[in-house]
Amino acid sequence: MPKLLLSVHNVKSGYRNHPILLGVDFDVSLGELVVLLGANGSGKSTCLNTISGFVSLSAGSIMLDGSEIGHLAPHVVFRTGVVQVSQKRDLFPDLTVEDNLRLGGRNRGREFIEDSLAQVYNYFPRLAERKRQRTRMLSGGEQQMVAIGRALVSRPKLLLLDEPSGGLSPQFVNEIAAIFRRLKVDGVTMLMVEQDINLALAVADRFIILRSGTIHEDTTIKGSTDTKEEIVRKIYL
């Protein structure tokens, strides 16, 4: 049995008088890549932001490695090893690529950061070539690589990815899919929100469909007999 890393139990959260998650339950095991699917506005980003502490939990529990992280501030959640790559990427455009990457390892020792950087350049040779350039000079796809690379520099226990394919050309989506496969082989645990169903199904071990604030379906890719069209219908109809 793979070891449980994240356990989300009866989670409720939302915004002021606008409840979004109405009691969400799911687990993520060590080394798994789980994709969260759902129609626009179904609460996928809210779910990631609740796990990373940016949206407050109003009820329920979020356990990481057996410890409750549900009511911690975002920077404390980060220190537990949960690292999010948001849709906005939140890079510093006037810093170099390498300086942005180094920010992922702040508060860590020099050796830790240098080893992590070497690993990230191994995943993303394009970033090694452009490490001295200002980040604003990079294309959208390359900036997405910087955002993912910065998260990896901290060597997260759990990597949360919000729409990693957002706005990218098919070529970059393929490159990023290849990186996710390599990260999986290297044992990185990932929970990803993704609208690109082809990418989602190509990389995931399991998919979860969020609908009306609850989990509509939670299925392993191997165990699912649905065609892609049937999955799309379940998401949108």
Chain residues binding ligand ATP by CB under 6 A are 15, 18, 20, 38, 40-46
Q: Give the nearer residue to ligand ATP in terms of CB position, either 42 or 144.
A: 42
CB of 40 to ligand ATP, least distance (A): 4
Q: Give the nearer residue to ligand ATP in terms of CB position, either 86 or 174.
A: 86
Enter the DSSP assignment of 3.
Answer: P
Residue ranges of E strands in 66-140: 67-68, 82-85
From CA 156, how far away is CA 108, in angstroms rounded? 13
CB of 5 to ligand ATP, least distance (A): 22
Q: Give the nearer residue to ligand ATP in terms of CB position, either 23 or 31.
A: 23
Count other C-beta atoms under 10 Å from residue 10's C-beta: 12
Contacts made by residues 36-40, CB under 8 angstroms, sequence distance 24+: 36/191, 36/192, 36/193, 36/194, 36/207, 36/208, 36/210, 37/194, 37/197, 37/200, 37/207, 37/208, 37/209, 37/210, 37/231, 37/235, 38/209, 38/210, 38/211, 38/235, 39/211, 39/235, 39/236
Q: Give the nearer residue to ligand ATP in terms of CB position, either 117 or 161.
A: 161
CB of 232 to ligand ATP, least distance (A): 14
CB of 184 to ligand ATP, least distance (A): 23
CB of 209 to ligand ATP, least distance (A): 11
Enter the DSSP assignment of 96.
Answer: B
Sheet with 189-193, strands from edge to edge, namely 82-85, 158-162, 189-193, 33-37, 206-211, 214-220
How many H-runs (helices) and E-runs (strands) does the chain carry?
A: 9, 10
CB of 12 to ligand ATP, least distance (A): 13
CB of 64 to ligand ATP, least distance (A): 21
Q: Give the nearer residue to ligand ATP in terms of CB position, either 21 or 91.
A: 21
Best CA proximity match to 176, nearest among 145, 137, 201, 151: 145
Q: Give the nearer residue to ligand ATP in terms of CB position, either 32 or 162.
A: 162
Q: Give the nearer residue to ligand ATP in terms of CB position, either 45 or 154.
A: 45
